[in-house]
Amino acid sequence: MKLDPSWVSGFVDGEGTFYVGINKNETMKIGFQVLPEFRVVQHQRDIKVLYALKEFFGVGVVRINHDTRYELRIRSLEHLNTKVIPHFNKFPLMTQKKFDFIKFTEIIDLMNQNKHLEVDGIKEIILIATKMNRQEKFKTLDNVKNLDLDQEQDRVHT
């Protein structure tokens, strides 16, 4: 199945998600892990579309999401930078989802600068993520509160 780039953008406008997970993780340098991902979920009867999208982008994994739903998931920062973001910059989204995409790219830009490894950077990422269309806004805001605002303790020891 060969996909037209404009069709892909339209389909993602309705079925895709730009998500940034921010989780406490004591093994990480700053105590939090930032996990950006592009995801499209479909019922198993439409799994061929997910494989076609995987072929279109040339990256990602198709896996079970929940029950009879499957997802194409692209998490690699390199793949987001080289495949996903350039596509949607060239073939823009038309719905409210374009604003989530803009916030998503802002976070990816910060990660490209390794800001996610600094306290101020993670705070900025969290604040941007709370402006995205997310169900976990309150959990994310709690993460901001969990960051110690004392500059002395913001130093990271490696």
Tens of pLDDT, residue by residue over 136-158, are 555 555 555 565 533 333 333 32
Strand 61-66 and strand 69-74: the pairing is antiparallel
Distance CA 36, CA 41 (A): 16
Enclosing H/E stretch for 6: helix 5-15
Distance CA 138, CA 116 (A): 20
Mean local confidence (pLDDT), 127-134: 84
Query: 59: number of CA atoms within 13 Å, CB side?
Result: 16
Summarize pLDDT for 19-72 with one digit per residue, the tens: 999 988 899 888 889 999 999 999 999 999 999 999 999 999 999 999 999 999
Distance CA 95, CA 31 (A): 35
* CATH (residue range 5-144): 3.10.28.10
Q: Give the contacts of 74 (CB within 8 A, at least 6 positions apart).
A: 37, 38, 39, 57, 59, 60, 61, 80, 83, 84
Summarize pLDDT for 1-13 with one digit per residue, the tens: 899 999 999 999 9
Indicate the pTM of the whole model.
0.84
